[in-house]
Amino acid sequence: MRCLKVEAGLAENTLTAYRHDLTSLAGFCADQRIDIKTINIRHIQAFMVSLREQANLAESSIARRLVAVKLFLRYLHQNGQVNEDVSMLVEAPKKWQHLPRVLSRQDVDKLLGLPNETDDPLALRDRAILELFYATGLRVSELVGLVLGSVHLDIGYLRCMGKGRRERVVPIGSRAVEALREYLTILRPQLIDGASSDRLFVSRTGKPLDRTNCWRLVVKYARQMGVAGRLSPHTLRHCFATHLLAGGADLRVVQELLGHADISTTQIYTHVDNSRLKAIHRQFHPRQ
């Protein structure tokens, strides 16, 4: 883990996920009485089977765990702890590409308007968070990591630190700017109450808002829309990308805004939504 943090510069959230994945491998090896120094491709294949059949993980989750396993195996070989580098022999299972859940523009408008309909004292903060998610497509870890100095409302831009510690600049729309100004002017000073904190979004007690509470915030409003359990901060990121592309935005620009290292990750958003698909079918199929 120390090597990945120092040499690869991986984010803390990624390191936490990799640590969990390798703990899973260590548990499997202990159960099967496999010495890690003698691990081979058959052991890794058996580990994959256990993830699918016992842990009931999807192919995408197994593939993600194998990334950590391959890095670990390569590390063992490079440091002379195993004789053979079996990481090159490990192949991830083929992943079925699930299309992300995307709300219509009307549903997004409804969601973003919900904080205005409540008397919750944190409504101004919640509105600013929801508006910013949709306006920028930030990941939840990127949003809660924002500091006051990274947001420039006068010119409508923010700077955020993404995966791999890559910094990017993202524009902020006028509605999000308005919501942020209101939060920063009226509510945030009350929450901070004289304490010194440079974090943009804070909790009821003035402490930095964390990922879990930000997630709960979005789910709370999702319940009010009747979509509990199916809507998360990442849903708004999906909506951001899909609606941009539907409006004619260039795929490369959307890739840059999302902070994707590989454009193939962005291409999933080029899917056609169901309503448009049905309209095209109705218009052009000879039996309609």
DSSP string, 171-234: E--HHHHHHHHHIIIIIHHHHHTT----BSSB-TTSSBPPHHHHHHHHHHHHHHHT-TTS--HH
Is residue 143 within 8 A of residue 201, CB to CB? The reply is: yes
Domain borders along the chain are 2-89, 105-276
* Segment 95-116, tens digit of pLDDT: 545 667 788 889 999 999 999 9
Class of domain 105-276: mainly alpha
Q: Which CATH superfamily is domain 2-89 in?
A: Tyrosine recombinase, N-terminal domain (1.10.150.130)
Number of Cβ within a 10 Å radius of residue 266:
20
- Identify the bridge partners of residue 167 per DSSP, sorted by sequence position: 161
Three-state DSSP at 158 gives: strand
* Segment 51-97, tens digit of pLDDT: 877 777 777 778 878 888 888 888 888 887 877 777 676 666 555 45
What's the whole-number mean pLDDT along residues 10-37?
Answer: 84
What tokens appear for 226 in the block? 């009747």
Given this model, what pLDDT does residue 281 score? 63
**pLDDT class of 3 with cuts at 50, 70, 90:** low
Strand pairing class (151-152; 157-161) = antiparallel
Given this model, what pLDDT does residue 81 score? 80
Given this model, what pLDDT does residue 35 score? 87
The whole-angstrom separation of Cα 114 and Cα 89 is 51
Q: Which residues are CB-neighbours of 42 under 8 A, at least 6 positions away?
A: none
Report the percentage of the chain scoring pLDDT > 90: 41
Catalytic site positions: 139, 163, 234, 237, 260, 269
